[in-house]
Amino acid sequence: MVCSQCGGALEGGDDATVFVCSNCGAAHELGEEGLVVFPAWTAAMTTELAVGGPVHYLPFWQEEVTVTALPDCAWERLRRLTAPQDPHLYVPAFSLRRPVVQLLGVRLTEMQPFLDLSLGLRPQAAGGQLELGHPANPFTPVVISRADARTLCHFVYLAFEAHKSRELRSVDYDLVPKGEELVFIPAVWDPRQIHEANWRVLLREFDDLVA
| Reported pTM | 0.89
- pLDDT of residue 121 exceeding 60: yes
pLDDT band at 53 (very low <50, low <70, confident <90, very high): confident
- The residue-averaged pLDDT of 207-211 equals 73
What's the confidence (pLDDT) of residue 131?
43
Q: Give residue-wise pLDDT tens across range 127-166.
A: 344 444 445 678 899 999 999 999 999 999 999 998 877 6
Q: Please state the domain extents for the chain.
A: 10-209
What's the confidence (pLDDT) of residue 93?
97
d(CA 176, CA 172): 14
What's the confidence (pLDDT) of residue 126?
37
Q: Are strands 173-189 and 34-43 parallel, antiparallel or unpaired?
A: parallel
Cα atoms in the 13 Å half-sphere on the side-chain side of 115? 21
Q: Give residue-wise pLDDT tens across range 57-112.
A: 999 999 999 999 888 889 999 999 999 999 999 999 999 999 899 999 999 999 99
Q: Which helix H or strand E contains 107, and what residues bound it?
A: helix 98-111
Q: Are 115 and 60 in contact (CB under 8 A)?
A: no
Phi, psi of 121 (to 5 degrees): -100, 95
What's the confidence (pLDDT) of residue 133?
43
